[in-house]
Amino acid sequence: MKSLFDSSSYDCSKLITNAYSTSFSMGIKLFGPSIRPSIYAIYGFVRYADEIVDTFGDYDQETLLDEFELEYERAIERKISLNPILNSFQEVVHKFDLYDYVRDFMRSMRYDLSVNEYKTEEAYKDYIYGSADVVGLMCLRVFVNNDNNRFNELKDYAMRLGSAFQKVNFLRDLNADLTELGRSYFPNLNTSVLDNETKNAIILDIEEDFREAYKGIVKLPMEGRMGVYLAYRYYQGLLRKIKRLDSKQIMTSRIRISDPKKVFILCKAYTRYKLNMI
């Protein structure tokens, strides 16, 4: 039965999400049941593409990415794929008209195979748009259920939130990106050593993204608002932890939020939500 195959494909996307990200998994569980499968499908696709360019360094990454993209294109054309991640994702792409966003996302993934340094603000923003902003836009299409007026009202806020998340990730992973992958994303990081002045400038930029993004979060449909708000609070907590650290500490470790702290953030976010404080 095709329906059983499709259902198991979405289950695989959920499995990938749960395996790779406890924070996003917690957020997705707070979405309305009707939208969870689509968000799992989006995350499964972007996670696999990101894995190819970030962690498969012992393999021919370009060939793997070529094959992954070719199989995606075939899935779009055929409306089916024996790769369960692509099978669930292609259905979401068709349903919510995500074609252009996927193209831009894959372009940024290819940058990770060839670009080691982003020297200009324009190149930096272009990479973030393709690697993070469009993921937020894909999810927003799901949240508003293809309501174009509501999408256009909220899309700038969704992009600011995607940018904030990605920039926090860049700071969190700064040491690994520089030493293991040889990548430098921040254009104002002129050397391989982060100083406190540069750190503070980056954090101010992220905090502005968060302030703008919050204006859109409170306008999201109820089905998606709580899950997005939780992710927002989680990343704010991560940024606050980074902010307290000296730049040298950021350069020598990968910062994370402990599981008990994640639970605390969840409880606090849920309480604020139930009290109608967001």
Q: What's the average pLDDT block by block, 10 residues per block, for the chain (278 residues)?
A: 93 95 84 96 97 95 98 98 98 98 98 92 96 98 98 98 96 87 82 81 97 97 93 93 88 77 73 67
pLDDT of residue 190: 60
pLDDT of residue 191: 59
Q: Cα dist. 80→44, 48, 64 in Å?
A: 16, 18, 20
* 278, 145, 99, 83 alpha-carbon torsion, rounded to 10°: 100
Handedness of CA 67, 69, 70, 72 (dihedral sign): positive
DSSP letter assigned to residue 184? B
Write down the architecture of domain 1-114 according to CATH.
Orthogonal Bundle (1.10)
- Domain ranges within the chain, ordered by starting residue: 1-114, 120-278
Contacts of 110 (CB under 8 A, 6+ apart): 53, 65
pLDDT of residue 176: 85
If one counts every other C-beta atom within 10 angstroms of the C-beta of residue 25, the result is: 15
Q: Would 1-114 and 120-278 be classified into the same CATH topology? A: yes
The answer to whether domain 120-278 has CATH 1.10.600.10 is yes
- CB 25 within 8 Å of CB 18: yes
CA atoms within 13 A on the CB side of 229: 25
pLDDT of residue 54: 94
pTM of the model: 0.93
